[in-house]
């Protein structure tokens, strides 16, 4: 009988731990989504189709996925066509303009992507100087 009683008493504790873990995971997910949403548009450079690129692309991923690429025009063509097949909403009349926008801003002739430094990295580099 005492075995059943100890098993019963451990269940609420396990349930409480699982609820706490779930709540913590949800909090981190919401925090991450908030910071990604705030940065999505500021990373794509100005241009004639910036707003359309932001709308079409950042529905599924953040702009950083785009800005870190250095692709040829042929590769950008394949990427845009692939994303359209995967569900990106792009008007047919905007396809070529998007490819031109991406290949001119994120082409093979552009400097390598330099990720933004975090505040902790800036503090650390300041201590190393």
So where are the chain's domains? 1-39, 44-129
Tell me the C-alpha distance between 99 and 75, whole Å: 9
Across 47-69, average pLDDT = 94
Which fold, 44-129? Cytochrome Bc1 Complex; Chain D, domain 2 (1.10.760)
Q: What is the mean pLDDT of the chain?
A: 80
39 and 62 Cβ atoms separated by less than 8 Å: yes
Which of the residue ranges 7-11, 13-17, 92-96 has the most confident prediction, judged by mean pLDDT?
92-96
pLDDT band with cut points at 50, 70 and 90 for residue 37: very low
Tell me the C-alpha distance between 39 and 88, whole Å: 20
**pLDDT digit string, tens, across residues 93-128:** 999 999 999 999 999 999 999 888 777 666 666 665
């Amino acid at each position: 009988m005492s075995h059943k009683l100890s098993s019963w008493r451990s269940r609420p504790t396990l349930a409480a731990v699982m609820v706490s873990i779930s709540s913590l995971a949800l909090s981190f997910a919401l925090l991450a989504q908030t910071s990604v949403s705030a940065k999505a548009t500021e990373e794509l450079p100005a241009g004639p189709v910036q707003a359309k690129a932001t709308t079409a692309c950042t529905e599924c991923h953040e702009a950083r996925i785009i800005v870190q690429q250095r692709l040829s025009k042929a590769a950008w063509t394949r990427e845009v066509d692939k994303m359209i097949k995967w569900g990106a909403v792009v008007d047919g009349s905007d396809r070529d303009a998007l490819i031109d926008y991406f290949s001119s801003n994120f082409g093979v002739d552009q400097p390598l992507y330099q990720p933004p430094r975090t505040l902790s990295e800036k503090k650390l580099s300041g201590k190393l100087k």
